[in-house]
């Protein structure tokens, strides 16, 4: 059975002028994929990856468009319009996403972006969004461990650093001393768990921990050099932002990695850059 608000892979049953009908596993029902979303070259019997939602007429429909977030995920989305029902957000699909007034923490203004979470409203079976994020995050059911690689969503800046959402499930903190570049609300990044505090909050780092961090940095540096005919204009005098933009590592880790590569005679350190041996 297909789930509204999620991706699924379905087989094409037949193709007509209006689009392709997709088999759902229920013999009495199939879902329409409108013609403009049918991938080029597919035919009856082929499978396509689609997103399932309800259209403006409240019919269950499929699309190959990619929404900015799916049910169960948080995202920063921009308000497109205001109505008597609430605010409508741009989430990458033709039909905009509703945030009912009851699900708003503040007055949402057209043109501004807000942190919301998508969920399936049980009473209407429609995808809606809410600003009441806390009721969905489970800090007492943490299943990750220190040093685990995680996905983070950058939220609001605070005195100590930046609040983040970890794996779409938990609140976390990225401290100032772990920030090596500018980050923006809504930005998605890879990170590593530093520690899990007693209050259930998770401290994360955007640098891979320990010796693995340096090995990963070495690989990134060598790959960058290979892609640029063996040379790049990064060195000890480069700014932390320049290094992070190119390699997504801190300047401290960069210096350790190029030092190790130099001792192994894999690179030359020149006045204005580094060169692959």
What confidence tens digit (pLDDT) does each residue in 82-133 have? Answer: 999 899 999 999 899 999 999 999 999 999 999 999 999 988 889 999 999 9
Contact assessment for residue 9 and residue 47, using Cβ atoms and an 8 Å cutoff = yes
pLDDT per residue as tens digits for the range 54-76 = 988 889 999 999 999 999 999 99
Inform me whether the pLDDT recorded for 195 exceeds 80: yes
- Say what the pLDDT of residue 36 is: 94
- Say what the pLDDT of residue 180 is: 66
- Say what the pLDDT of residue 197 is: 86
d(CA 253, CA 195): 20
Q: What domains can you pick out in the chain, each with its CATH number?
A: 7-63 (2.40.50.140), 74-134 (2.40.50.140), 149-205 (2.40.50.140), 210-276 (1.10.10.10)
Cα dihedral 166, 168, 170, 173, rounded to 10, equals: 30
pLDDT per residue as tens digits for the range 134-191 = 989 877 778 899 889 999 999 999 998 999 999 999 999 998 877 767 789 999 988 9
- Say what the pLDDT of residue 271 is: 80
Instruction: Provide φ and ψ at 7, rounded to 5°.
Output: -85, 150
Structure confidence at residue 203 as a pLDDT band (50, 70, 90): very high
pLDDT per residue as tens digits for the range 209-228 = 654 566 677 888 888 888 88
Q: CA neighbours within 13 Å on the CB side: how many for 242?
A: 9
Secondary structure class of 64 (helix, strand, coil):
coil
Structure confidence at residue 249 as a pLDDT band (50, 70, 90): confident
- Say what the pLDDT of residue 200 is: 80
- Say what the pLDDT of residue 28 is: 62
Inform me whether the pLDDT recorded for 194 exceeds 70: yes
Contact assessment for residue 258 and residue 269, using Cβ atoms and an 8 Å cutoff = yes
**pLDDT > 70 fraction of the chain, expressed in percent and rounded:** 96
- Which pTM was predicted? 0.75
Contact assessment for residue 189 and residue 154, using Cβ atoms and an 8 Å cutoff = yes
């Amino acid at each position: 059975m297909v789930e509204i608000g999620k991706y699924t892979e379905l087989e094409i049953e037949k193709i007509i002028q209006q689009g392709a009908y997709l088999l759902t596993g229920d013999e009495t029902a199939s879902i329409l994929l409108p013609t403009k979303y049918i991938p080029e070259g597919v035919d009856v019997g082929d499978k396509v990856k689609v997103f399932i939602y309800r259209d403006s007429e409240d019919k269950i429909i499929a699309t190959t468009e990619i929404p900015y977030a799916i049910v169960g995920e948080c995202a920063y989305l921009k308000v497109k319009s205001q109505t008597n029902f609430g605010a409508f957000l741009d989430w990458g699909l033709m039909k905009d996403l509703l945030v009912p007034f009851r699900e708003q923490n503040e007055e949402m203004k057209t043109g501004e972006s807000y942190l919301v979470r998508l969920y399936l409203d049980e009473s209407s079976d429609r995808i809606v969004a809410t600003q009441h994020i806390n009721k969905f995050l489970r800090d007492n059911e943490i299943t990750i461990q220190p040093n685990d690689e995680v996905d983070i969503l950058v939220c609001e800046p605070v005195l100590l650093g930046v609040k983040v959402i970890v794996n779409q499930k938990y609140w976390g903190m990225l401290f100032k001393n772990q920030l090596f570049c500018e980050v923006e609300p809504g930005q998605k990044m890879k990170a590593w768990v530093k520690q899990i505090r007693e209050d259930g909050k998770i401290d994360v780092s955007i640098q891979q921990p320990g010796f693995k961090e340096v090995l990963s940095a070495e690989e990134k540096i060598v790959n960058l050099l290979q892609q640029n005919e063996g040379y790049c204009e990064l060195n000890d005098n480069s700014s932390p932002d320049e290094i992070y933009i190119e390699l997504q590592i801190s300047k401290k880790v960069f210096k350790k990695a190029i030092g190790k590569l130099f001792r192994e005679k894999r690179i030359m350190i020149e006045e204005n850059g580094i060169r692959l041996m």
